[in-house]
Amino acid sequence: MSIQEIVSILTSAGIEQREAVQEVKMLIEHFCNYGAKDIIMGKPLDYEKLKIVKNKAEHRAKTREPIQYIIGKAYFMGNYYKVTPDVLIPRDETEIVVDHALDIIKDNNLKNVLDIGTGSGCIACTIKLKTNTNVVGIDISKNALKIAKENTLSHHAQVDYIQSDLFSNLSKDTKFDLIISNPPYIPIGTELQREVQFEPKTALFTSEKTGCEFYKKIIEHGKDYLNDGGYIVFELGINESELVKTYFKSNGYTQITVIKDLAGIDRVISAQIQ
Ligand code: GLN
C-alpha cells in the first residue's frame, strides 16, 4: 500500500487531487506523528501506521466528514485550534477579517474587544495573542465555549468567555472599542456542500432569506455596547455587503470600509460609530 494509493481513495470520491494530497499529508502528520520534513524526506512509514491512515481516508471518502474534524484540529493564523462538530472550522477568509481588525486595533490603540459568536475561539485567541487588548468572547452555545476555553488555555492566551445569545447576558455598563463577528450568514434553505453539513447549523444559518439577520441585530444593539468612536468588523456572506452597508448608514455609523477576498467577493466590512 503506497501513499499514492491512499490519495486515490480520496480522489475517487471526488476530492480534487491537490486537496487530496494535502489531506493525506495531514492524516500522516497527525496519526503517524510525522513532521512535514519526514514526508518530504520520504522517511518510511510502517504498515500498521499506513493502515490507520488508509482507514481514515476511507472514512473521509465515504462520509465526506471534513478532514479537520477527523484529525480534531484546524490551522488558523499561525496556530492550531481544537475543533469538533460543536464549532465551525476556521476558514482562510476569516484571516482577512482578523487582519483588518488587527490593523484598526493597532492604528487606534484600542483596548477592549468583543468577539460575537466566538465558536472555536480562533478569532478571540488570535487577537489576544497579537495585541495588548482585553478580549471577551461570547457564544450562544455552551459546547462551543468549552472548546474555545480549551483553545485559549492551550495557547496561553487570556480571554473571558460568556455564554450569551448576542448581547443578552452582557451588562450595558460593559463597553468595547471594537466588536468583531463572523456571524451565521447563510440564508435558510440554502443547499450546503456535503462537508459543510457536518458543521453546527446554528453557526451557519440565519432564520431568514437575506442572511443578514445577525448583522442587523449587532449593528442596532452594538451601539449600546460601543464606546464613542468604536468599531464593528464583520465577515460577510456572498452578496451581503450592500444591505449591511445600509444598516450601518441608517444607524449612524461612518467610515464604512469593504475588503474583497481572493475570489473577488466582498468579504469584510467595517464601520465606526460617532
Ligand atoms: N468565530 C468563529 C470563526 O470565525 C465561529 C464563527 C461561527 O460559528 N459563525 O470561525
* Residue 252 predicted with pLDDT over 80: yes
**3-state percent helix, strand, coil for the chain, nearest multiple of 5:** 45, 20, 35
Q: Is 135 exposed, middle or buried (0-12, 13-18, 19+ CB in 10 A)?
A: buried
* pLDDT at position 43: 78
Mean pLDDT of 9-30: 95
Atom of ligand 1 nearest to the CA of 94: 4
CB of 77 within 6 A of ligand 1: the answer is no
**27 CA → ligand 1 middle, Å:** 24
**Rounded CA gap, 226 and 113, in Å?**
10
* pLDDT at position 49: 86
Mean pLDDT lowest among 39-43, 113-117, 150-154, 216-220: 39-43
Whether the CB-CB separation of 113 and 227 falls below 8 Å is answered with no
Name the residue among 148, 239, 140, 139 with its Cα closest to residue 186. 239
Pocket test for ligand 1, best of 88, 135, 164, 236 (most atoms within 8 A of CB): 88
* pLDDT at position 34: 83
CA atoms within 13 A on the CB side of 214: 30
**122 CA → ligand 1 middle, Å:** 8
Helix (H) or strand (E) holding 272: strand 266-273
**40 CA → ligand 1 middle, Å:** 33
Q: Using one digit for the tens of pLDDT, what is the confidence trace for 22-49?
A: 999 999 989 988 877 777 787 777 888 8
> β-strand 266-273 against 226-235: which pairing, if any?
antiparallel
**Rounded CA gap, 174 and 167, in Å?**
11
CB of 237 within 6 A of ligand 1: the answer is no
- Ramachandran quadrant class, 33 (left: phi over 0; alpha: psi -120 to 50; beta: rest): left
**130 CA → ligand 1 middle, Å:** 18
Q: Which residues are registered as beta bridge partners of 270?
A: 233, 257
Q: For helices 122-130 and 92-108, what crossing angle results, to 10°?
A: 40
Atom of ligand 1 nearest to the CA of 123: 1
Which stretches within the chain are classed as H helix? Answer: 3-12, 17-31, 36-40, 47-63, 67-71, 92-108, 122-130, 142-154, 201-204, 213-222, 241-250
Q: Using one digit for the tens of pLDDT, what is the confidence trace for 166-188?
A: 999 999 899 999 999 999 999 99
* pLDDT at position 57: 98
Write out the three cell numbers for 213: 439577520
CB of 211 within 6 A of ligand 1: the answer is no
* Long-range contacts, stretch 167-170, CB < 8 angstroms, 24+ apart: 167/221, 167/222, 167/224, 167/225, 169/138, 170/114, 170/138, 170/225
CA atoms within 13 A on the CB side of 201: 5
- Minimum CA distance residue for ligand 1 atom 8: 203
CB of 122 within 6 A of ligand 1: the answer is yes
Render the burial of 99-117: b for 16+ CB within 10 Å, e for the rest.
ebbbebbeeeebebbbbbb
Amino acid present at 23: E
Q: Using one digit for the tens of pLDDT, what is the confidence trace for 215-232?
A: 999 999 999 999 999 999
Mean pLDDT of 4-9: 94
* Residue 204 predicted with pLDDT over 80: yes
Atom of ligand 1 nearest to the CA of 183: 9
- Minimum CA distance residue for ligand 1 atom 10: 90
How many residues comprise the chain?
274
Confidence at 268, pLDDT banded by 50, 70, 90: very high
**179 CA → ligand 1 middle, Å:** 14
Q: Which residues are registered as beta bridge partners of 81?
A: 74
Write out the three cell numbers for 237: 456572506
Confidence at 274, pLDDT banded by 50, 70, 90: confident
The DSSP output letter for 196 is G
Average pLDDT, the chain: 95
- Minimum CA distance residue for ligand 1 atom 7: 203
Write down the pTM of the prediction: 0.95
